[in-house]
Amino acid sequence: MAEEAFEEPENGKHTRSQDEPESKKDTGPSMVETAIPIPDFFYDIRSTLPLVGSSHGVVRSLTNFLYLITIGIFVATYVFYSLPEQLLSEESVVTSEWEKVGYVCKPLQKLTVGGLSTEWTFDECIAATASPNTDTIIAVVKSDASTQFDYQFATQGDKSLVMSIHDDRLASSVLQETSNAWSRVGFSCFPETPYDNYFDVGLNYSECLQSLQPPSTEVLIQDQFGRVEYFPFGTAFKCYPWNCNERLNQIYGGNLDNGAYYTYSLGQDCLNVFVSLSAAVQAWNTITTTQEDSQGNFYDDYICGFLKSNGNGFRCFDKPKPPSTKEQAIERYASEYPPETICAPLKQNSPFQCTRTVEAPMVTRLSLSLASAQAVFALVGILFVAILRKMKKPDQAPSTV
């Protein structure tokens, strides 16, 4: 077997074997490693590493103190987040619905109720509404000079919230300006003020039929010439008109029974009879009960026909007339304007902001406390390491665990 020859080193120089691999020179971390550091868990942490500082006891003391601080911060922050001020918070949603289970909802804008702009909720309105009584029902003079009864159902500050049967009825009415537009389907029409009809009364045709007073001594007046006139709505209003004179002539020829006769005077609007006052009731009953002709009868058809025309037109209502006494007003407002009806528009005052109080879950509180403790652990640890590095002497070798 041939012997393997070895070269002798020249001048004491060491030569490596040809089989020994050539080691690379450590030039430090590459540019990539600098930009993207290798994570700590790729290092062998079980290797013996030097401690920062010269004293193992100091490092151990600081470590114990760091853990105590971290545990204290964790407990303190958990207690802090469990206080009522931190434990409870408000959750809010915006919706078009006026109520939401478990929430308190308030409108995001004001609404006029009872003549006053308010931000009330429906429930607040219900709670603030007083019942109709002698104190909340008040007499008010309206723009048409009529006295009506309004309902002061609530107050807000120094102002009152008012409902008015009269005003609501007027607001929903329709004015028909044609002089003979005396009716409208589903409505009750009345002469518009100021009245411009023969009798100058505010009755409509239906009310006229119920308001007529038949001939009697209470509604008959005899003048100085012996003429007796008939006032179908009472002596405070105009007399029975003479326009039917020609129609009566075709039936009676001017003469009635018992020697009475009817006539009219030029320049006067009244039909009259010449007869004694005691016999005038019978004479007028003869006229008003005369058999009707092609134009109708001579009593309600004839008299109330004058109310089918009004120079200022007719105002038509789809609601009944307002109450005429306080007692009637209390009953009407109690039945027609209960709190739910008064406050109902507030349900439509969307959008609404609904809020509720919720409690922070334990998991959330633990997470917040743990995050705080970790932050303190890192910051205080960095501070301790910086202090140890400042205290370390340059020529002092680091201690090992």
Residue 260 sits in the same domain as residue 214: yes
Bridge-based pairing of strands 220-222 and 147-156 is unpaired
In the chain, the percentage of residues whose pLDDT exceeds 90 is 52
Phi and psi at residue 35, in whole multiples of 5°? -75, -40
Q: Please report the sign of the dihedral spanned by the C-alpha atoms of residue 137, residue 139, residue 142, residue 144.
A: positive
Cβ-contact 231, 304 below 8 angstroms: no
Residue 103 lies in a domain: no
Residue 260 sits in the same domain as residue 147: no
Q: How confident is the model at residue 40 (pLDDT cuts 50, 70, 90)?
A: low
Residue 343 sits in the same domain as residue 244: no
List b or e across 54-71, with b for residues whose CB sees 16 or more CB atoms inside 10 angstroms.
eeeebbeebeeebeeebe
Residue 341 sits in the same domain as residue 363: no
- Residue 259 pLDDT: 77
pLDDT in tens, 68-79: 998 999 999 989
- Residue 395 pLDDT: 53
Residue 227 lies in a domain: yes
Residue 27 lies in a domain: no
Q: What is the DSSP string of 19-85?
A: TSPPPPP-----HHHHHSPPPGGGS-TTS--BPSSS-HHHHHHHHHHHHHHHHHHHHHHHHHHTSHH
Residue 391 sits in the same domain as residue 338: no
Distances (CA, A) of 329 to 61, 151, 244: 89, 8, 43
Distance CA 237, CA 249 (A): 26
Residue 40 lies in a domain: no
Cβ-contact 194, 146 below 8 angstroms: no
Residue 141 sits in the same domain as residue 241: no
Distance CA 333, CA 150 (A): 9
> Which of the residue ranges 50-54, 272-276, 370-374, 381-385 would you say has the lowest mean pLDDT?
50-54
Cβ-contact 142, 149 below 8 angstroms: no
Asked whether residue 46 carries a pLDDT value surpassing 80, the answer given is no
- Residue 329 pLDDT: 96
- Residue 158 pLDDT: 85
List b or e across 210-227, with b for residues whose CB sees 16 or more CB atoms inside 10 angstroms.
ebeeebeeebbbbeeeeb
- Residue 5 pLDDT: 42
Distance CA 25, CA 40 (A): 24
Residue-averaged pLDDT of the chain: 84
Residue 187 sits in the same domain as residue 310: yes
Asked whether residue 1 carries a pLDDT value surpassing 50, the answer given is no
Cβ-contact 244, 298 below 8 angstroms: yes
Residue 19 lies in a domain: no
Rg (the chain; Cα; Å): 53
Domain count, the chain: 3
Distance CA 288, CA 262 (A): 12
Q: Please report the sign of the dihedral spanned by the C-alpha atoms of residue 298, residue 299, residue 300, residue 306.
A: positive
pLDDT in tens, 106-138: 999 999 999 889 999 999 999 999 999 999 999
Domain containing 128: what range? 110-172+322-348
Asked whether residue 47 carries a pLDDT value surpassing 70, the answer given is no
Residue 136 sits in the same domain as residue 205: no
Q: For the residues 135-161, what does the mean pLDDT come to?
A: 92
Residue 30 lies in a domain: no
- Residue 327 pLDDT: 96
Residue 259 sits in the same domain as residue 183: yes
List b or e across 78-108, with b for residues whose CB sees 16 or more CB atoms inside 10 angstroms.
beebeeeeeeeeeeeeeeeebeeeebebebe
Residue 199 sits in the same domain as residue 310: yes
- Residue 139 pLDDT: 95
Which residue has better confidence, 360 or 138?
138
Residue 393 contacts by C-beta under 8 Å, 6 or more apart in sequence?
A: 54
- Residue 2 pLDDT: 42
Bridge-based pairing of strands 147-156 and 174-176 is unpaired
Which residue has better confidence, 261 or 33?
261
- Residue 33 pLDDT: 60
Residue 181 sits in the same domain as residue 167: no
pLDDT in tens, 322-348: 999 999 999 999 999 999 999 999 999
pTM equals: 0.60
Rounded to 5°, angle at Cα 51 from 46 and 52 = 145
Residue entry with tokens 């209960």: 338
Residue 222 contacts by C-beta under 8 Å, 6 or more apart in sequence?
A: 228, 229, 277, 280
Query: Closest Cα partner for 221 from 199, 239, 202, 233?
Result: 239
End-to-end C-alpha distance for the chain, whole angstroms: 54
Which residue has better confidence, 19 or 124?
124
Residue 296 sits in the same domain as residue 337: no
Phi and psi at residue 20, in whole multiples of 5°? -75, 125
Asked whether residue 303 carries a pLDDT value surpassing 80, the answer given is yes
Asked whether residue 23 carries a pLDDT value surpassing 70, the answer given is no
Distances (CA, A) of 168 to 115, 172, 319, 320, 383: 12, 6, 9, 11, 78
- Residue 248 pLDDT: 92
Residue 300 lies in a domain: yes
Residue 38 lies in a domain: no
Q: For the residues 37-62, what does the mean pLDDT come to?
A: 65
